[in-house]
Amino acid sequence: PEDASGKHILEIDPKMSFGTGYHESTRLMLRFLPDLIRGGECVLDAGTGTGILAIAAVRLGAASVIAFDISRWAEENARENVALNDVGDRVDVRLGPIREAVPETGFDVVLANIERDPLLALLPAFAEKLRAEGRLVLAGLTDADEPAMRSGIAEQGLTIEREIRENEWWSVVLRHAEAGADSA
């Protein structure tokens, strides 16, 4: 587009996967990324879908991204979109559940745009994968999900650093509670 100066253009062929930038939850995640990716970060994209968040993270300067999904369709689609956007040298797309697909830990940023119940189930694994001063970004949540999510977040020793809303959709940036508010 003519008005795209200073913006990153991502080409996404969604096929059967979620993540085009048209849904509120994806837009909320994309709005957080420029503040979290400043250059050189190691990122985990959980439930990558089309790979849009992994691609955006690399375009913003992430050194590397591991993007995984439990769906073979999504994994194949993410690989195609990573190639389409020429970021395959920094995005490693994997298939399988987090504990099998991602043995690594110490991520600077963990991204997960899924739904409430899977997010609640994955919170312990996300907390383990995140480095002490890292950030966990969650979306795919509605206003109705907020009470259960706040409880699950607190149970994992995480705290909400920032939150934004669009229509009935809610997204949060979390950090380890012991990391302190000044470790941004």
Q: Report whether 41 contacts 34 (CB < 8 A).
A: no
Mean pLDDT (the chain) is 89
d(CA 161, CA 182): 10
Exposed/middle/buried for residue 71 (C-beta within 10 Å: 0-12, 13-18, 19+): middle
* 69-94 mean pLDDT: 95
How many CB atoms are closer than 10 A to CB 176? Answer: 19
Asked whether residue 16 carries a pLDDT value surpassing 60, the answer given is no
Using pLDDT thresholds of 50, 70 and 90, give the confidence band for residue 179. Answer: low
Number of helical H runs and strand E runs in the chain: 6, 7
Strand 64-69 and strand 169-176: pairing?
A: unpaired
Asked whether residue 136 carries a pLDDT value surpassing 70, the answer given is yes
Q: What is the pTM of this model?
A: 0.87
